[in-house]
Amino acid sequence: MTDAKTRIDETVKAHDVVLYMKGTKEMPQCGFSSRVAGVLNYMGVDFADVNVLADEEIRQGIKDYSDWPTIPQLYVKGEFVGGCDIITEMTLSGELDTLFSENGVTFDKDAAEKIREANA
């Protein structure tokens, strides 16, 4: 398991934003992964995607790494942010905008606002 932990650690530290998900950002393979990737893509966030379905060691390893039982999992600047429900709430409250701004992550503020308007 150390190998998976090392690979995960290197990945979350090498990229500003990383999404561990089922499938890829171009082709998500579950609704929850699709929702989070869709938000990030719509907001124009440059993020690395890691398909946990392609690697069983990473699929279990990411749950152990974060002590979080579900996928997707979003990391910003090496820190675990949350899964689908948390990211959805943060998007709608504007907290995700703040997190990105505070960490120097480029995103489309107008797109973020459109998501909130559509869900008001």
- For 37-77, the DSSP string reads HHHHHHTT---EEEEGGG-HHHHHHHHHHHT--SS-EEEET
- Categorize the per-residue pLDDT at 120 as very low, low, confident or very high, splitting at 50, 70 and 90: confident
Query: What CATH superfamily classification does 2-118 receive?
Result: Glutaredoxin (3.40.30.10)
Radius of gyration, CA atoms only, the chain: 14
Report d(CA 33, CA 72) in Å as an integer.
5
Domain definitions of the chain by residue range: 2-118
30 appears as a binding residue in the annotation: yes
Residues 18-72 have pLDDT tens digits of: 999 999 999 999 999 999 999 999 999 999 999 999 999 999 999 999 999 999 9
